[in-house]
Amino acid sequence: MSSPPPTGAAAESVPENPTPNGAADRSAIVRLVHVRKSFGRQAVLRDISLEIQRGLTTVVLGPSGCGKSVLLKHIIGLLRPDSGQVWYEDVRVDTLSEVRLGAIRMHFGVLFQQGALFDSMSVRQNVGFSLVEHTDLNAAERERRIRRVLRMVGMVDSIDKMPSELSGGQRKRVALARAIILEPKVILYDEPTTGLDPIRSDVINELIIKLQSELGITSVVVTHDLSSAFKVADWMVMLYDGQLALEGTPQVFRDTDHPQVRRFLLGEASEEELKGIHARGGGGRVTETAATAASDADANRSRWRRP
């Protein structure tokens, strides 16, 4: 668990190229160093230091409002920290101009929560949009690349369809093809399985694993879907109250006794969160809710303790 945030001079004394031995860690493709971000009086990120390891899938967990999406936006420079540093490779991202940030963002692909396809464009046009905007490839070269990435996600037969003709899972796969069309080094997934049934969710999980295996892509996956998290993760991170509550392998998370992490994994509300419900509830209804919660907790506890 991260140490308490430094205050005073200690909070400002961030080295120019910070690592434990004074030199950049070449295994980390993205680094956040003592990052803090507030919106008005609301502190969202509180002294976050995190390394995203090259070629691995890092899953970011945490309750709603804990700063997961804000963290993603810092990685690609959509938000800048109030203090601290954000690095991609050997480039400090948070100090770049918008022009230079554009070049850095070409190394990233993003799968948005709802896919964010252009409704008025076909699958071919959606996937090829970045090629038209950012490359000098001719029409034949663009077509070959579009078909190649659509084959990777199992959607080449839908190349002429419109988004309205696709299911939710199919739209996610097309959006994923679009995210990899420029051959990025890092893909950021924002709730990739939200709104999908378990089978379609597993298709997305398998694609995340496939892209890492076949293309060597580094993935950062923000999710509430614990089945997905434990399936795709090489490394896991949990944010709680704007801080790093725990990071480690999936097995570390299965074995943890950290109270907030365990409650999150087991789906257990805290006493404070339940106080209002019990105050207003009555008789057998509260008892029934408690019994159901206990049953669900037991099932979850068994599941996440599995080796």
Supply the pTM of this predicted model.
Answer: 0.78
Higher-pLDDT residue of 14 and 161 is 161
pLDDT value at 306 more than 60: no
pLDDT value at 47 more than 50: yes
pLDDT in tens, 254-299: 999 999 999 999 887 777 767 767 655 554 444 444 445 445 555 5
The confidence band for 197, taking pLDDT boundaries of 50, 70 and 90, is: confident
Question: CA–CA distance from 51 to each of 101, 105, 218 (Å)?
Answer: 20, 18, 12
Amino acid 293: pLDDT: 47
The confidence band for 244, taking pLDDT boundaries of 50, 70 and 90, is: very high
Amino acid 291: pLDDT: 46
**What is the average pLDDT value for the chain, to the nearest integer?**
82
List 63's β-bridge partners, or say none.
none
How many Cα atoms are found within 13 Å in the side-chain-facing hemisphere of 119? 2
CA dist 274 and 60 (Å) reads 25
Task: Spell out the residues 6+ positions from residue 31 whose beta carbon is closer than 8 angstroms to its own.
Answer: 25, 50, 51, 52, 85, 86, 87
Amino acid 230: pLDDT: 95
Q: Fill in the DSSP letter of residue 65.
A: T
> What tokens appear for 60 in the block?
């970011």
